[in-house]
Amino acid sequence: MLGSYRAELLKLRKRSAVWVLFGAGLVLSLIFGYLLPYLGYATGDDNPQTDGVPRAEILRGMLPERVIDNTIGGYPIFAGALALVLGAIVIGGEYTWGTLKTVLTQRPGRGTILGAQFLALATTVALWVVGIFAACALCSVGIAAAENGSTAWPSIGNLLQGLAGGWLVLMMWCLAGAALAVAFRNVALPIGLGVVWILGIETLLAGVVSSLLPGLKWLANALPGSNAGSLVFTVTDMASSDAPPGVRDAVSGGRALLTLIGYCAVFTALAVWTTRRRDIT
Amino acid sequence: MDALVEVSGLTKRYGDTLAVDGVDLTVLPGEVYGFLGPNGAGKTTTLRILTGLIAPTSGTVRVLGGRPGQADVLRRTGSMIESPAFYPYLSGLDNLRLLAEYAGVARQRIDEVLELVDLADRAKDRFSTYSLGMKQRLGVAAALLKDPELVILDEPTNGLDPAGMRDMRRLIRELGTDGRTVLLSSHLLGEVQQICDRVGIINSGRMVAEHNVDELRGEQELVVRANPKDQAQAILTRFGSVHQYDDTLRVKVTPDRAAEVNRVLVEAGIAVSELRSTERALEDVFFELTATEEKADVG
Ligand SMILES: Nc1ncnc2c1ncn2[C@@H]1O[C@H](COP(=O)(O)OP(=O)(O)OP(=O)(O)O)[C@@H](O)[C@H]1O
Ligand SMILES: [Mg+2]
């Protein structure tokens, strides 16, 4: 298992697409978390119109106190989509390149290989989260220094809880991509379907349910995106008014946590079960 | 001697296609076994089953005393099934490193196998930049990485140039004399004739023959072109049975008596314009066997 894990890490580390995805996630977080708000702050005037956010409020959003909000605020939708693409290219690539047969005839069993792949993906996602956090923390420290803002940090407990929650959200989407890749033995189709689901269908569905079919609220609240948004909402303590897209309090934090863990387990089980019993041709 | 590969009554069905139909196959330790058949005969399907990639529809399969796909069996088997498949963005070397990690093989073995297939100087280039023949050689290197007892190669000379083919055949022959057991598939008759000890011929999913390569060659003959032919034929019957083939005569006699045959003909005043030995090629046997099989299918 350890050898297989090392092999999977080597594959991930040397694959440029993995770095591109990470870079995209990082740049998105920094642009929406710091660059755009800072431009707004620097150019805004002190007495904003009614629809503007007060400058002091904008600054507070960029200080170390709120670093977790900016790190994981985009995870339910944007970074989630990138994580789904990661899962799909890593697992689907084995099918499109035909490398699955090469790997499965080495020695470890199919379950072990897939387990090692998921473990390596989990490691990669954790590194993404830490990397994005480090970049956000640097920005917030810089802004606090430049603008004489407070350099108070959230408690260690809150930091860890936020990062762990963010990791779980990304991991759930990543496993969804992996499970779809196994199902379709492909890369492009799972990416297309998954991204359309994350970016469009869930939001659409939530809107339709709340306005037309309130009786189906339980269903909308069981979907992965709602739970990802709710978990991020809970661990960041955001206000509903200034939460980024996808972050909302549909269900309680505890329930969101359990649902996401459940999704991770189901996606993993489906992928392993299918891979183990299928003919590799 | 216990067989390394024992297959009996093996059947594999893909939907309506019966890819393998009741194949029996035995590979003994230390031999180079050739699995010969035309396109679509079921060679790759059988080899996939032996490496545990696909499950048989019915029949029993034992490889190295275990079930195909078992960790202990895979550890002692090296294989290349169909086209070599590697990560295109990694170098040949990194691809082998990866496989070494999965299989638990020491690093220095990588250099050995790269040397063996003559790929050491291009090992650091990305796999996607390799030519067809280089990809094939990396595939064989990967199959040998585990220093396996049983080597399963599906059309190993596919895509190689003549020199590469010659080297590959020599390498496979050496694997056999090294005490390893090799099971290879091919649709090249000459190849199997050159490197295999035994050959199984498969056609439309069925084994039509299994023989020692020597046995299959059949008896040796002398080809004689002489004038006048009738007179020559009368004299040649003294050496063995004679039959006409195109405008030559074929005599069942061992080639070491060719000089004697020549002398007798010349002394009788017959002009000999050609005299050579020939053997029934595997090719003839192959087409005979696969053709009758097809007729049987039709009838
Ligand atoms: N995945 C699959 N799905 C359906 N049919 C298949 C599949 N793989 C192989 N077949 C069929 O099984 C039969 C045997 O194919 P196989 O690949 O074993 O032949 P082969 O002897 O290796 O031929 P070749 O010399 O062309 O490599 C063919 O009729 C083929 O169409
Ligand atoms: Mg084949």
The residue range of the domain holding B261 is 220-278
Q: Do B108 and B88 share a structural domain? A: yes
* B185 located within any domain: yes
pLDDT of residue B296: 47
B232 and B161 fall within a common domain = no
The reply to whether residue A105 touches residue B79, judged by beta carbons under 8 angstroms, is: yes
Nearest to A108 among B54, B98, B102 (CB): B102
Are residues B224 and B207 part of one domain?
no
What total of structural domains would you count in chain B?
Answer: 2
Q: Which residue among B10, B14, B286 is best mutated to probe the pocket of ligand 1, counting the most ligand atoms within 8 A of its Cβ?
A: B14
Query: DSSP string covering chain A, please?
Result: -HHHHHHHHHHHHT-HHHHHHHHHHHHHHHIIIIIHHHHHHHH--SS--TTSPPHHHHHHHHSGGGHHHHHHTTIIIIIHHHHHHHHHHHHHHHHHS-HHHHHHTTSS-HHHHHHHHHHHHHHHHHHHHHHHHHHHHHHHHHHHHHHT---PPPPHHHHHHHHHHHHHHHHHHHHHHHHHHHHHT-SHHHHHHHHHIIIIIHHHHHHHHHHT-GGGHHHHTTSHHHHHHHHHHHHHT--GGGPPTT---SS-HHHHHHHHHHHHHHHHHHHHHHHHHS---
pTM: 0.88
- Indicate if the pLDDT at residue B283 is higher than 70: no
- Out of B13, B20, B25, B44, give the residue to mutate to test ligand 1, the one with the largest number of ligand atoms within 8 Å of its CB: B44
What mean pLDDT comes out for the span A143-168?
Answer: 92
Task: Please give the pLDDT value at position B298.
Answer: 43
Query: What's the ipTM?
Result: 0.91
Nearest Cα neighbor of B172 from B154, B156, B189 is B156
Nearest CA to ligand 1 atom 2: B14
**pLDDT digits 0-9 by tens, B54-111:** 999 999 999 999 999 999 999 999 999 999 999 999 999 999 999 999 999 999 999 9
Domain assignment of residue B289, yes or no: no
Among A231-240, B3-12, B30-39, the minimum mean pLDDT is found in A231-240
Q: How many domains does chain A have?
A: 1
Is the domain of B182 the same as that of B261? no
How large a percentage of chain B has pLDDT more than 70?
Answer: 93
pLDDT in tens, B204-233: 999 988 888 877 666 677 888 998 888 998
Question: Are B52 and B120 in the same domain?
Answer: yes
* Whether B104 and A3 lie within 8 Å, measured CB to CB: yes
What is the extent of the structural domain holding A141? 2-277
B160 in the same domain as B210 = yes
- Asked if B10 and B140 sit in the same domain, the reply is yes
- CATH code of residue B48: 3.40.50.300
**B189 C-alpha vs ligand 2 centroid, how far in Å?**
15
pLDDT, tens digit, 9 for 90 and up, residues A90-128: 999 999 999 999 999 999 999 999 999 999 999 999 999
Please indicate, yes or no, whether residues B13 and B34 belong to a single structural domain of this protein: yes
Last residue of a domain, one of B187, B216, B245: B216
Write the CATH number for B250.
Answer: 3.30.70.980
- pLDDT given for residue B243 in this prediction: 80
B229 shares a domain with B272: yes
Q: How far is A100 from chain B (nearest CA, A)?
A: 8
Calculate how far, in angstroms, residue A109's C-alpha sits from the geometric centre of ligand 2.
Answer: 24
Q: How far is the CA of B44 from the centre of ligand 1 (A)?
A: 7
Same domain as B237, residue B90: no
Judgement on whether residues B92 and B192 belong to the same structural domain of the protein: yes
